[in-house]
Structure 1
């Protein structure tokens, strides 16, 4: 984070832990407590008796990709925000060269675990749960873009950064790459290109100019992963299917192919209209031109309907009305672009 923030605006006061406290909490970082691992380091489940809370401890690799700057960026960002769809930072440790972050524990792990790294025999997510996760994650982005003061651009929206509680409510995590939004009448923040390949908006990748619409593009990519069950980049697939966006593009143009985009693990158990509407939202979010993408607030509005249990939908809206609702996201062009 490049700008100093008035401490009076802080919403959360993060607790400072000693390395010893966190070693005790995780049984000396016992491998049996290990719940996740990545380029940043390792995540352990633990329990802190003094606050009577189960926690997740992210121990950053001292030689890893996430250095001091990202560590303090995450602490600062999460001290500024508070929302039910953002993971809560309980505290941190900066003892010597040790860098650890302490979060609320998310019992169901990441969306990636349930969607893209599904173990054999594990039940796939059903359609309603997928829409509920997408809706909640969009609400987290909406808070960062439209409520947080100063505005925050997330910059690293992907399935592995969406954590799930025991009821599969989603929370955005990992704010090491987050940036404060533009000020002084500017429309973008200029920064070096960072994030995960495949999720970055094309204009950000080419120019380094970051806007809220960069996050909307990344959301669209993840939403397409949620619908299809495919990774955005998957080198294990045939050449023409390795890039999800390129593979889906011609299918978007042919209504008879829409069901081919849906995850086969769903077994066809989804309302066809909901699939068409979800694809319309995804297609609008991943448009090449940033100014043609919808605002995240409009996406949230459309997804709230899709996330409703089927019996509730019947009680609140006819299918024709629901299509009009999705159309309103971006000037009525959803049906025109996807033929729904």
Structure 2
């Protein structure tokens, strides 16, 4: 079957480590099913994998991808949940010490077929295309958990979304607006600021700009480059929710004095549970919203999509069709 996979690692030029070609069809352990993939979406996780982050060399070659929508063996249209927990673990699977994601220990979704535990599929919303539904399991699920599980935000509060443009950031803007939260967003790029307004931000600012007032929570996926601005933007007792660090993980200062003196809360957030994915699907159906797609490419042209993400030239999700 056709797949996009990591055959080696290259920390400096990750796209050069990508291969697109034939791979064996998945094996199916007891309790697992094979989903015929109709669309899959690209994430920064896939670029990190090509750099050798979070993926062991002995696991190569590894089919990349965490996101997919397709058809299960019973003919149902489904969305794949990418968090694979230990079968014996009970509770929030994102907290399972033995958890992994598709494309880490198990072959990923950038292929014609993917094998997953039977309980890792949820019904695809009828109102979403396969391409739109493929955007949900990582970026949109991460945004949903950040906003509604980790932040403590409620309707009427104000949230700052750093780095408008990426998949998680665009999802955060749209979901927060739909939930009655006032949304501010930042970007270095004027065009991305304009797009952020179009998809639901109430106001936009240049990265690092002084805000009109402090906010109840900041959604942080950029990391090093925006860390100080995020902390300085919070009200006393506010919450910074961080789910990524695309600009690096070593800010000049952790600003611990500010954190403890203002009683700020720094909350990590990773992916989401299968239950949260089901809630996200229903929320989007009820609110009449859909994911933002930057571009759609055939899987055979995966290298083009990876290069586009590596260059940072993205607003929304890059989707591959199978």
TM-score (norm 1): 0.26
Between Structure 1 and Structure 2, which shows a larger proportion of strand residues? 2
Between Structure 1 and Structure 2, which shows a larger proportion of helix residues? 1
Structure index of larger Rg:
1
TM-score (norm 2): 0.27
